[in-house]
């Protein structure tokens, strides 16, 4: 039997730590990606009476297969908790998300949640955020939008479930706040993958054999 790489064990440990925080009777936003892939079976095993919202068709299919109750996100107007992975976490708690192109739905779900818990392996901790920053763009006027966002590259993947074109901003990120504000204000950008620290309640990061809890703004990292 081969031993899983450290990062996989760390993702699993972080996911299991997050599952322990889910309360009976709560509404839960489920993220997308390889770390969330560990979350879903661990959550299903707890057999709680919870109602979930999924951030991607892949998460929805897997969650249903495991017996989790999924509801479309057009009836609930808030969630108790959302749990999701990240591509990068900087020391102040800024995240880059959207490696799987699901960042628009992920941000909508994270913002709607009372608590947003990030789960990650230790290799996601970075000193400074770097490109790529995932983007979802409106197909209308796509090439004019791309020209204004240079340097940028189309990802060449299928559109999002909402019809958005997935691309990546490839420029410098000297100030995540400024880049986030610029991308948010650019016509044609549906959503970008920079998530501010204010959105993150806590990050649970697998670190060797332990899980470290980081709380943005608390000086815990």
Least Å distance, CB 78 to ligand A5P, is 21
Using CB under 6 A as the binding rule, whether residue 164 contacts ligand A5P is answered as: no
Q: Which segment (101-109, 158-166, 168-176, 207-215) binds ligand A5P by CB under 6 A? A: 101-109
Residue 22 backbone class (left: φ over 0; alpha: ψ -120 to 50; beta: rest)? beta
Using CB under 6 A as the binding rule, whether residue 132 contacts ligand A5P is answered as: no
Least Å distance, CB 37 to ligand A5P, is 8
Distance CA 67, CA 65 (A): 5
Least Å distance, CB 147 to ligand A5P, is 25
**Among 22, 60, 62, 85, which residue interacts with ligand A5P (rule: CB under 6 A)?**
85
Using CB under 6 A as the binding rule, whether residue 105 contacts ligand A5P is answered as: no
Binders of ligand A5P in range 33-52 (CB under 6 A): 33-35
Active site residue 128: no
């Amino acid at each position: 039997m081969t031993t899983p790489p450290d990062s996989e064990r760390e993702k699993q440990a972080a996911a299991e730590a997050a599952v322990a925080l889910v309360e009976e009777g709560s509404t839960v936003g489920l993220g997308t990606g390889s770390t969330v892939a560990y979350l879903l079976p661990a959550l299903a095993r707890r057999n709680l009476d919870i109602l979930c919202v999924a951030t991607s068709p892949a998460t929805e299919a897997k969650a249903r297969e495991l017996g989790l109750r999924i509801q479309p996100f057009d009836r609930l107007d808030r969630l108790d908790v959302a749990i999701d992975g990240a591509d990068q976490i900087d020391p102040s708690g800024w995240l880059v998300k959207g490696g799987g192109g699901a960042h628009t739905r992920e941000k909508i779900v994270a913002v709607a949640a009372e608590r947003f818990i990030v789960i990650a392996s230790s290799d996601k901790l970075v000193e400074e955020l770097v490109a790529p920053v995932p983007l979802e763009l409106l197909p209308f006027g796509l090439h004019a939008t791309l020209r204004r966002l240079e340097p940028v590259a189309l990802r060449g993947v299928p559109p999002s479930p909402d019809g958005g074109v997935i691309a990546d901003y490839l420029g410098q990120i000297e100030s995540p706040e400024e880049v986030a504000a610029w991308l948010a204000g650019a016509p044609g950008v549906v959503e970008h993958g920079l998530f501010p620290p204010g959105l993150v309640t806590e990050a649970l990061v697998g670190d060797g054999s332990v899980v470290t809890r980081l709380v943005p703004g608390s000086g815990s990292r």
